[in-house]
Amino acid sequence: STTFVRTKVTLPDLKYDYAALEPAISGKIMELHHSKHHQTYVNSYNDAADKLSAASNTGDVVAQIALQPLINFHGGGHINHTLFWENLAPKNSGGGAPPSGELSKQIDSTFGSLEEVKKKFNTALAGIQGSGWAWLVKDTQTGGIGIKTYANQDPVVGQFKPLLGVDAWEHAYYLQYNNRKAEYFTAIWDVINWKAAEERFAKA
Closest approach of Cβ 173 to other proteins, in Å?
10
Q: Pick from 61, 151, 182, 202: which binds other proteins (CB under 8 A)?
A: 151
Closest approach of Cβ 132 to other proteins, in Å?
7
Closest approach of Cβ 144 to other proteins, in Å?
27
- Is 131 one of the binding residues for other proteins (CB under 8 A)? yes
DSSP the chain: ------PPP-PPPPSS-GGGGTTTS-HHHHHHIIIIIIHHHHHHHHHHHHHHHHHHHTT-HHHHHHHHHHIIIIIHHHHHHHHHHHTB--GGGTTTPPP-HHHHHHHHHHHSSHHHHHHHHHHHHHT--SSEEEEEEEETTTS-EEEEEEETT----TTEEEEEEEE-SGGGTHHHHTT-HHHHHHHGGGGB-HHHHHHHHHH-
# binding residues, other proteins (CB under 8 A): 20
- Is 84 one of the binding residues for other proteins (CB under 8 A)? no
Interface ranges with other proteins (CB under 8 A): 32, 36-37, 40, 69, 73, 129-132, 151-153, 169-171, 174-175, 178-179
